[in-house]
Amino acid sequence: MTTLISAPTRIEAAGIPPKTISEFIGHLATGNADVSVAVMDSPKGWSESGQTPEFDEYSLVLAGELVAETRDGSVSASQGQALLTRAGEWVRYSTPGDGGARYVSVCLPAFSPATVHRDD
């Protein structure tokens, strides 16, 4: 049966300055551990600590620019582009550009604080 998810669950985000995470599907919003789908609204200058997650993360940029710093260098995606970060790969995300970024994040399996493994 098809289920309507009428509103997202707001999640406190890591990083400075704060960004807004609106989870539509995932651990908190629907109790789903298989996949998470969230919209990220990230301000100019936002960055978070590095992480080595246990999930693949697909990030589709709707507006602005999202930067992923990896051990091999930095990759940036702008509107209409996407980034794929594989499970076990160290990454640090940021939105340095004017206007920040709005993007959709899909994690397989679902994002969890216990499996993101943020740097100290």
Q: In the prediction, which pLDDT does 59 show? A: 98
In a domain, 2, yes or no: no
Mean pLDDT, rounded, for 93-104 = 96
Provide the percentage of residues in the chain whose pLDDT is more than 70.
100
Q: Is residue 17 part of a domain?
A: yes
Please list, residue by residue across 77-86, b when 16 or more beta carbons sit within 10 angstroms of its beta carbon and e when fewer do.
beeeeebebe
Task: Please determine, for residue 100, whether its predicted confidence score (pLDDT) is greater than 90.
Answer: yes
What is the number of structural domains in the chain? 1
Q: Within a domain: residue 4? A: no
User: Can you give the pLDDT at residue 12?
Assistant: 83
% of residues, the chain, pLDDT over 90: 95
- Confidence (pLDDT) at 39: 98
Mean pLDDT of 84-97: 97
Mean pLDDT of 100-105: 98
The helix (H) or strand (E) run that includes residue 113 is: helix 113-116
Whether 120 maps to a domain, the answer reads: no
Query: What pTM did the predictor assign?
Result: 0.94
What are φ and ψ of residue 28, in 5° steps? -75, -45
